[in-house]
Structure 1
Amino acid sequence: MPSGRLSVVVTRRLPEPVETRMKELFDVTLRDDDTPMSRDELAKAMAEADILVPTLTDTIDANLLARAGERLKLIANFGAGFDHIDVASALQRGILVSNTPGVSADDTADMTMALMMSVTRRIPEGLQQIKDGGFSGFSPTALLGTRVSGKRLGILGMGRVGQAVARRARAFGMQIHYHNRRRLREETEAAFEATYWESLDQMVARMDVISVNCPHTPSTFHLMNARRLKLMKDGAVIINTSRGEVIDEPALTRLLKSGDISGAGLDVFEHEGEANSELRNLNNVVLLPHMASATLEGRLEMGEKVIINIKTFADGHRPPDQVVPSML
């Protein structure tokens, strides 16, 4: 490692307390505005810095990593997801990658429930009616939604976020079902009174609500494809606060338009920043701008994890949140 303070480049604006603390600890270059770096700007940063602090808006592939300088030894990602980084290529070049897991599980689970209630109880439609001046008084048949109590919730991905969703959904009186790469331990399963489905197809066909909470990996790309989406029962809804690539978005759009899927709540999209116009025009869809983890408390905790990963690495130790090949 070079002597003196580490050279750290941050690619996006971070909460002020995080930036201030980084200034105190490192020779840090901060972003003046909150626009994503261009590819050339990323390449320049990677050529000159000891450590890069990117976010999910920064696509760091093998070609970009080939332009990295010999000084770059750690990519300390600000965020839990790392599908935007070619971790295998980075490791081949001796560049470690770390992330910030476990920080936003509760925040994301809160938003999952908010989307679920928004879709099933038609909250945006009611809000729009008020804004448009169309509310003339109570009507027994207006904006009828459905209860979530007693309904079957199928959780796709029972990691930290999935389990946080399960805890909240149980408080709403929902029945918990899940599909996961590995079955939970018996005592964990019992705590949620959860039913495990080895077959995702069989689970999808029987649920009232599907919640997507798995990461985006090569094996989960379009895991909810057209065939699987068509298996959803009449009246079912789907919620996604994970990654847009897990759902075949064009297929979902078609099924929502036809009414084969009753509704959807989406915080993420297959092409980030490009919520398609067809989805935006559907009344049975609630769309949010990737804000499930957007709490001040969560962002500050993410920043603290980034700083700890960098400091631990600078001290000659393995970053506590290093991404390892078994996680890919």
Structure 2
Amino acid sequence: MRHLGLVRRVTNIWAGAPTSGLLEVRNLHRSLQRPRQMKLMADDKPWALISEVGREGYIEESVDILKRHFHIVCHKDFLQNPALHGPKIQAVFMWNCCPAAEPSLLKSLPSLKVITNGGVGIDHLDVSLINSFGVKVANTPGVVSDATADIAMGLLLASARNIVEYNMIAVDPKTNYVPQNLMGVEVTGSTLGIIGMGDIGYKIAQRSKGFNMRILYHNRNRRSAEDEQAVGATYCKNMDDLLKESDFVALAVSLTSKTTGLIGRRELSVMKPTATLVNVSRGLVVDQDALVEALRSGTIRAAALDVTHPEPLPRDHPLLSLPNALITPHIGTNTFATTMKMVERMVENAVAAVKGLPLPDEVKLK
């Protein structure tokens, strides 16, 4: 009976306890369980292969985006033990064309669902081959357009106004006067010819309008009348007509079999001797040997290039020593904001592929 009374007293004590106290005990128990549950959820993340962090690979901040959705393994670590990592990798995040989508790599990734490329150009990808392994391909259109159009205008302005040369004069410890015979050429009111009027080409036109430039363009397909009117662009069905009239020629085409060598000796000879060639597409769009000849002979005034072939050029390549060639190392998309947007878009495509959903930016063979 004593025991029974003790039980009743304990029961009465608990019965009178505040409900909130009981809830706190339960919540404490749940909170102790939560880290384990979160760990289990994290372990369920799919695996992805990347090139590297730093150097030519991903900046640290962008890696954080990848890690939110994927376990990642760098290519060099993968090569140490392909049998360990290969079967679980479902996505490849390609940056600066790395890791290369070679048949040997594809064969070692039996669970691979997608290769998502940072950037728009896919000339380094054999889409047909990749698809034959049951793997989809995606890129990141749109997010790179503004930054690339900016670098096109930057190159145009720097070349026209000899900005690099003047900078060297300004910082040279031997400078005691500024030579007046190093004259630039006028940008405002000049004629700009844009070859390739896709998203990047159109954004170049938008920027050029601010300089009151006359805009000509050549494209596989003509833009709508509304698009042309918005930037004041005139369509040239014949590319030669554009080359003959332009003070600046900007290349913004994708690299295909039809655009490889698009600007060669003949095309350069059609251009004005005062004209400048600006290339933000791919190095192989221009015949570089012909370009060297044109720059040396004065066939054209100058070239401003963000792309070459190969990249970087051999250190003894003649383009590097020409005073009228301005070259940057393919930095069209190299801004922090654009880099982060590119990685975010790559992740969106990869997550969709892993979940079996339609890819926002799938590259499909035509």
Whether TM-score is above 0.5 comes out as yes
Deviates more, 1:190-199 or 1:54-63: 54-63
Matches within 5 A, 1:264-279: 264-274=303-313, 277-279=317-319
Name the TM-score, length of structure 2 as normaliser: 0.81
Verify: 1:170 aligned to 2:209, yes or no: yes
- The equivalent of 1:211 in structure 2 is 250
Q: How many residues align?
A: 318
Verify: 1:19 aligned to 2:63, yes or no: yes
Matches within 5 A, 1:94-173: 94-139=134-179, 141-173=180-212
Q: Secondary structure at the match of 2:289?
A: helix
CA contact under 8 A between 1:79 and 1:99: conserved in structure 2? yes
CA contact under 8 A between 2:311 and 2:329: conserved in structure 1? no
Percent sequence identity is 31
Q: Secondary structure at the match of 2:137?
A: strand
Q: Secondary structure at the match of 1:190?
A: helix
Q: Secondary structure at the match of 1:184?
A: coil
- Residue 287 of structure 1 and its aligned partner are, at CA, apart by 0.9
CA contact under 8 A between 1:177 and 1:194: conserved in structure 2? yes
Which protein is bigger by CA-based radius of gyration? 2
Q: Secondary structure at the match of 1:144?
A: coil
CA shift in 2, pair 1:110/1:50, >3 Å: same
Q: Deviations over 1:170-222 (max 9, x none)?
A: 10111111011100011111111111011112211221100011111111111
Name the TM-score, length of structure 1 as normaliser: 0.89
Q: 1:191 aligns with which of 216, 230, 233?
A: 230
CA contact under 8 A between 1:56 and 1:81: conserved in structure 2? no
Letter in 2 for 1:70: P
Deviates more, 1:275-284 or 1:192-201: 275-284
Question: Superposition RMSD on alpha carbons, in Å?
Answer: 2.4
CA contact under 8 A between 1:15 and 1:300: conserved in structure 2? no
Deviates more, 1:9-18 or 1:114-123: 9-18
- The equivalent of 1:260 in structure 2 is 299
Matches within 5 A, 1:2-17: 4-13=44-53, 14-17=58-61
- Where in structure 1 are there 5+ consecutive unaligned residues? 32-36
Q: Secondary structure at the match of 2:217?
A: strand
The structure whose residues are more often helix, as a share, is 2
CA shift in 2, pair 1:247/1:11, >3 Å: same
Q: Secondary structure at the match of 1:9?
A: strand
Q: Secondary structure at the match of 1:257?
A: helix
- Residue 144 of structure 1 and its aligned partner are, at CA, apart by 0.7
Q: Deviations over 1:138-170 (max 9, x none)?
A: 55x331111011111000111111111101111
Q: Secondary structure at the match of 2:313?
A: coil
Letter in 1 for 2:255: H
CA shift in 2, pair 1:20/1:157, >3 Å: same
Letter in 2 for 1:200: M
- The equivalent of 1:229 in structure 2 is 268
How far apart in 2 are the matches of 1:128 and 1:312?
50
Letter in 2 for 1:25: H
- Residue 136 of structure 1 and its aligned partner are, at CA, apart by 2.5
Letter in 1 for 2:200: V
- Residue 280 of structure 1 and its aligned partner are, at CA, apart by 1.3
Q: Secondary structure at the match of 2:107?
A: coil
How far apart in 2 are the matches of 1:46 and 1:231?
53
CA contact under 8 A between 1:12 and 1:54: conserved in structure 2? no
Letter in 2 for 1:105: S
How far apart in 1 are the matches of 2:81 and 2:141?
24
Verify: 1:289 aligned to 2:329, yes or no: yes
CA contact under 8 A between 2:90 and 2:354: conserved in structure 1? no
Letter in 2 for 1:58: C
